[in-house]
Chain A
Amino acid sequence: MKVTSNFVMRDVAGDIVVIPTGEAARCFNGLISMNSVSAFIWKHLEACQTPEEMLALVLENYDVDEETARKDVFQFLADLKRAGMIED
């Protein structure tokens, strides 16, 4: 999975935010705030080929049951894709 160009992640005053730039900023000229899990997923997008790989990585790193993680990870990735922030 790949982050569409034009997004910069930054840790600012304890908040992890994604800032759209370029074409993305034309559609949304604000900040996207992330919690620690969503930031973890964002940082590892390029390392995972599929949602299943990302799920495995989340399960390795967080104390969470598979059913909950699957639901949340898949939903988050679908949201990112729908918003045009990632591509396969």
Chain B
Amino acid sequence: MELFQPQNLIEQRICNVADMKKIPITGALELLPLCNMDCKMCYAKMTREQMERHAPMKDWREWLELARQARDAGTMFLLLTGGEIFLYPHFKELYLELKKMGFVVTLNSNGTLINEEIADYLASDPPRRVNITLYGSSDETYARLCGNPHGFTQTTRGIELLLKKGVQVKINCSVTPYNVEDLDGIFAVARRYRLPIEAAYYMTPAVREENEKNTQHRLSPQQAAEAKLRIRELTYPPTIFKNSVLDELARYRGFSQNKEWQPGFTCRAGNSVFWVNYDGMMSACSFTREPLLYDVFSMPFAQAWESLLKNIQTIHLAKECHDCRMSVLCGRCASAAFGETGTYEGVPRYHCELTRHYIELLEAKEKEYQA
């Protein structure tokens, strides 16, 4: 999932130039690891005790100082995320100051804590949008997956408050065994509110030891492949979906790797995108770890970014993946490789299985169309 999606050609151009020039145009700030929900598959959350044992939260004025340095280094787009951002002390002050500084700010939230006051101050200086993760289409699903038996009601109330005040909203969705049956319902909710939606079928292994068992609560590769296809089917009108199926198969069958196997990551992370953990460690994305961690509160931002860029250029992802025919349809990336295998050079077999099954599903669809 991209941290920031350019909305128009100007933003696309800015992001492309930033990629070429290695400017940290987009950053995500994980303000806190605390959350008011307890989702089974979460890869990042901590209890307050766990957090305090590890490191305290940064003060909002410390984040502001970091943002000033990031702005001077070229950052334009900021994602504020957590944990649940509306639990962060002085969130309002931080958000409004970042807006005044000329950042284009996007927010990630589960939506359950949004009330009139929050909707009002967001509306007074609107974010680019609020990404709200919708975990199900009923309170029962929220109880099962998130431990919150009122979650659906609270989230939809939050969405309605934001929409009433003119704040733009996008729905995100993380598909797990506990809510896969709700997938159609979640898309129906997005349609009801006329909101864009993006669903993730792949759950990355935990980034913190507190969540190490999270992969017990994700879809099997086969289920994930089925969810991937269903998400596409729900996203596009039938004709476009059919064309995309045939196009994906054509790209897979016609694959010929003509790009050189080079070091570096395959996405914008670590090229023009950075991530800062709540404890102040900067990395390429939320899932990358050693040796790509720099304490950006102890060294100048520009120095941390330069070190990150330099170090990423020493990392090769798997040659086997680079040469693989399935790579054109595979969602693997540096973080998936690291999360699944413990090294950036590893082959994330979960993705091999997922993609293999996805291709079988595409071929079955193709047969349906031929019939």
- B is bound to A: yes
Which residues of A line the B interface, CB within 8 A? Answer: 8-10, 12-15, 17, 19, 21-23, 25-26, 29-31, 33
B99: min CB distance to chain A, Å: 5
Q: Are A13 and B126 in contact (CB under 8 A)?
A: no
* 8 Å CB contact of B10 from A8, A9, A22, A31: A31
Write out the residue numbers on chain A whose beta carbons fall within 8 Å of the beta carbon of B100. Answer: 8, 21-22
Please tell me if the beta carbons of A22 and B17 are within 8 angstroms of each other in the complex. no
Query: Which secondary structure characterizes the binding site on chain A?
Result: mixed
B102 contacts A15, C-beta separation under 8 Å: no
User: A12 vs B14: C-alpha distance in the bound complex, in angstroms?
Assistant: 7
Decide yes or no: A22 and B99 within 8 Å by CB, A29-B168, A30-B7 being known contacts: yes
Asked if residues B102 and A31 are in contact (CB atoms below 8 Å), the reply is: no
Q: Does B219 contact A (CB under 8 A)?
A: no
Determine whether the beta carbon of A25 is less than 8 Å from that of B14.
no
Which residue from A12, A17, A33 sits with its C-beta under 8 Å from B74? A12
Residues of A within 8 A of B14 (CB): 12-13, 15, 17
Q: What is the CB-to-nearest-CB distance from A13 to chain B, in angstroms, rounded to a whole number?
A: 4
Asked whether B13 is an interface residue with its Cβ less than 8 Å from the other chain, the reply is: yes
Tell me whether B7 and A26 are in contact (CB under 8 A): no
- Interface of chain B residues 1 through 20 with chain A (CB within 8 A): 7-8, 10-11, 13-15, 17-18
Contacts of A29 in B (CB 8 A): 126, 128, 168
Residue contact A10 to B76, C-beta cutoff 8 Å: yes
Interchain CA distance A13-B168 in the complex, whole Å: 26
Contact of A15 among B7, B13, B125, B126 (CB under 8 A): B13
User: Does B25 reach chain A (CB closer than 8 Å)?
Assistant: yes
In the complex, the chain B residue whose C-beta lies closest to that of A25 is B126
Q: Does B124 contact A (CB under 8 A)?
A: yes
